[in-house]
Amino acid sequence: MKKQKIVLIGNGMAGIRAVEEILKLAPNRFKITVFGSEPYPNYNRIQLSKVLQGDTEVADITLNTWEWYEENGILLYPGETVIEIDTDNQIVSTDKKRQVKYDKLIMATGSDPFMLPLPGIDKEGVTAFRNIKDCELMISASENYKKAVVIGGGLLGLEAARGLLNLGMQVDVVHLSDCLMERQLDKTAGKMLQKELENQGMNFLLEKQSAEITGLDRVEGLKFKDGEEVKADLVVMAVGIKPNVTLANESGIQVNRGIIVNDYLETTVPNVFAVGECAEHREMVYGLVAPLYQQGLEMAKRICGIDSEGYQGSVLSTQLKVSGVDVFSAGEINEDEDTKSVRVFDDWLGVYKKVLVKEGKITGAVLFGDTQDGTRLLSLINKKAAIEEYMDNARSEETGLDLIASMPDEEIICGCNGVTKCSIVEAINTQGLTTFEQVKGCTNASRSCGGCRSLVTDLLAYTVGDAFEQNQKESICGCTTLSKDEVIEEIKDKGLSHTREVMHVLGWKSEEGCSKCRPALNYYLGMLNPLEYKDEKESRYVNERLRANIQKDGTYGVVPRMYGGVTNSTDLRKIADVADKYDVKLIKVTGGQRIDLLGVKKEDLPSIWAELDMPSGAAYSKGLRTVKTCVGADFCRFGTSDSIGLGTKMEKKFEGMNAPHKVKMSVSACPRNCAEGGIKDVGVIGLDGEYEIYVGGNAGTHMRQADLLAKVKTEEEVIEMTAAFLQYYRETANYLDRTSVWVERLGIEHIQTYLSDEKMFKELNQRMDESLSIVQDGWKEVLESETMVRDLYQNVNIPAGSN
Which residues of the chain form contacts with other proteins (CB under 8 A)?
Answer: 57, 60, 441-444, 510-515, 518-519, 537-539, 541-542, 545-546, 550, 552, 554, 602, 790-792, 794-803
- Amino acid at residue number 282: R
- DSSP-derived letter for residue 58 is G
Min dist CB 496 to other proteins, Å, is 18
β-strands 259-261, 279-281: how paired? parallel
Contact 609, 558 (CB under 8 A): yes
* Complex with other proteins: residue 237 or 503, whichever CB lies closer: 503
Shortest Å, Cβ 512 to other proteins: 4
Instruction: Give the residue ranges of the annotated binding site for [4Fe-4S] cluster.
Output: 630, 636, 670, 674
Q: Which candidate, 412, 443, 441, 414, places its Cα nearest to that of 426?
A: 443
Residue closer to other proteins (CB basis): 105 or 424:
424
Closer residue to other proteins, CB minimum distance, 538 or 583 = 538
DSSP 679: G
Q: Nearer Cβ to other proteins, position 514 or 699?
A: 514
Amino acid at residue number 202 = M
At residue 53, what is the residue type? Q
Round to whole Å and give the CA distance between 454 and 464. 15
Instruction: Closer to other proteins by CB, 554 or 689: give it.
Output: 554
CB atoms near residue 181 (< 10 Å): 23
Closest CA to 769 of 722, 733, 736: 722
Nearer to other proteins, 552 or 637 (CB): 552
Distance, in Å, from the CA atom of 530 to the CA atom of 771, rounded to the nearest integer, reads: 5
Query: What is the DSSP pairing of strand 203-206 with strand 170-175?
Result: parallel
Cβ nearer to other proteins, comparing 59 with 216 = 59
Which residue number, 513 or 656, has a Cβ lying nearer to other proteins? 513
What is the residue type of 614? M
Q: How far is the CB of 159 from other proteins (least distance, A)?
A: 20
Could you give the count of Cα atoms lying within 13 Å of 95 in the half-sphere of its Cβ?
Answer: 12
DSSP 706: P
Q: How far apart are CA 289 and CA 276, in angstroms?
A: 8
Task: Closer to other proteins by CB, 149 or 619: give it.
Answer: 619
CB of residue 448 to other proteins, shortest distance in Å? 11
Tallying the residues shown for the chain, one arrives at 803
Q: Are strands 147-151 and 170-175 parallel, antiparallel or unpaired?
A: parallel
| Inter-CA distances, 370 with 141, 344, 456, 620, Å | 34, 11, 17, 29
Contact assessment for residue 78 and residue 11, using Cβ atoms and an 8 Å cutoff = yes
Strand locations in 418-513, DSSP E?
A: 419-420
In single-letter form, the type of residue at position 29 comes to R
Distance, CA of 742 to CA of 746 (rounded, Å): 6
Other C-beta atoms closer than 10 Å to the C-beta of 593 total: 19
- State the binding site: 630, 636, 670, 674
* CB closer to other proteins out of 341 and 420: 420
Please, what is the minimum distance in Å from the beta carbon of residue 440 to other proteins? Answer: 9
Q: Which of 412, 466, 459 is nearest to 439 (CA)?
A: 459
* C-alpha–C-alpha distance, residues 725 and 710, integer Å: 11
H or E segment to which residue 728 belongs: helix 715-732
SS3 800: coil
Shortest reach from residue 538's CB to other proteins, in Å = 4
Assess contact for 113 and 243: CB atoms under 8 A. Answer: no
CB 802 to other proteins: min, Å:
6
Least distance CB 778 / other proteins (angstroms): 16
Q: Are 42 and 63 in contact (CB under 8 A)?
A: yes
Spatial CA neighbour of 643 closest among 619, 661, 616, 670: 670
Q: Rg of the Cα trace of the chain?
A: 30
Rounded Cα–Cα distance for residues 137 and 132 (Å): 9
Nearer to other proteins, 223 or 447 (CB): 447
Rounded to 5 degrees, φ, ψ at 796 are -105, 135
**Residue 799 Cβ, how far from other proteins at the closest point, in Å?**
7
Q: Which is nearer to other proteins, 142 or 443 (CB)?
A: 443
* Distance between CA atoms of residues 721 and 22, nearest Å: 66
Residues 309, 674: Cα–Cα separation, whole Å? 62
Closest contact distance (angstroms) between CB of 546 and other proteins is 7
Nearer to other proteins, 515 or 756 (CB): 515
DSSP structure class, residue 735:
T
First to last CA, the chain: 66
Minimal distance, residue 432 CB to other proteins, in Å? 15
Closer of 192 and 600 to other proteins (Cβ): 600
For residue 620, the minimal CB distance to other proteins (Å) is 12
Annotated binding residues for siroheme:
674
Q: Three-state SS across 531-584? A: CCCCCCHHHCCHHHHHCCEECCCCCEEECECCHHHCCCHHHHHHHHHHHHHCCC
d(CA 697, CA 705): 5
As measured in angstroms, the least distance from the Cβ of 582 to other proteins is 18
CB closer to other proteins out of 167 and 260: 167
Smallest separation (angstroms) from other proteins to the CB of 287 = 28
Distance CA 612, CA 616 (A): 10
Least gap, CB of 520 to other proteins (angstroms): 12
User: Strand 91-94 to strand 99-101: parallel, antiparallel, or no bridges (unpaired)?
Assistant: antiparallel
